[in-house]
Homo-oligomer: A and B are copies of this chain.
Amino acid sequence: MEAKEYTEMRNLLTGYLAEKKLRRTEERYMIFQNICSFPGHFDVCMLHQQLEDNNYHVSKATLYNTLEILVDAGLIVRHQINTKIVQYELRKLADTHLHLICTKCGAVRELRDSTLKTDVDNLKIARFTPEYCSLYIYGLCSKCKYRMQRSGR
């Protein structure tokens, strides 16, 4: 990510904390900084590990607390594709793609497609102010389809 973009998002966080009268703690900024290093989806464990690797220890409670704040601030989005793991992603990244999920093996692929996003932006919805959207397309990935055809279903 470009330094400029990072600074911009960091400022958004600062603005949000100020607006909500929340404190600007080192933990919150460190967590956000580490999140920015992920190129795609991440979960709580990965984030915790990433912080430990950088010799920065935070409790699970603080992690969860901060993630909620970041979601509310609109800086990250939450994905819950399978039952077990809740994943997050920088909102900035999520806005550029939709998700293809294999119903067989669970593999998730990202697909850049602007038309659908534009369609959503153009939707006129009564009594609702859209902020962003998540689109998940379920189906068969090529590997699983091939495997099924070979085994005769």
Contact = CB atoms under 8 A, between A and B. Distances in A.
Given A19-B153, A80-B83, A103 B131 contact: yes
Given A72-B103, A128-B100, A135 B133 contact: yes
A123 B71 CA distance: 30
A80 B81 CA distance: 7
A9 B72 CA distance: 40
Q: Oligomeric state, in number of copies?
A: 2
A137 B83 CA distance: 20
B128 A119 contact: no
A140 interface: yes
A125 B111 contact: yes
Contacts of A139: 128-132
Which of A134, A138, A145 lies at the interface centre, i.e. has the most chain B CB atoms within 10 A of its CB?
Answer: A138
A94 B132 CA distance: 20
B113 A142 contact: no
A142 B101 CA distance: 32
A109 interface: yes
A147 interface: no
A111 B132 CA distance: 16
Contacts of A4: none
A23 interface: no
Q: Which 8 A-B pairs have the closest CB atoms?
A: A80-B80, A127-B142, A130-B139, A131-B139, A129-B140, A133-B137, A134-B136, A129-B139
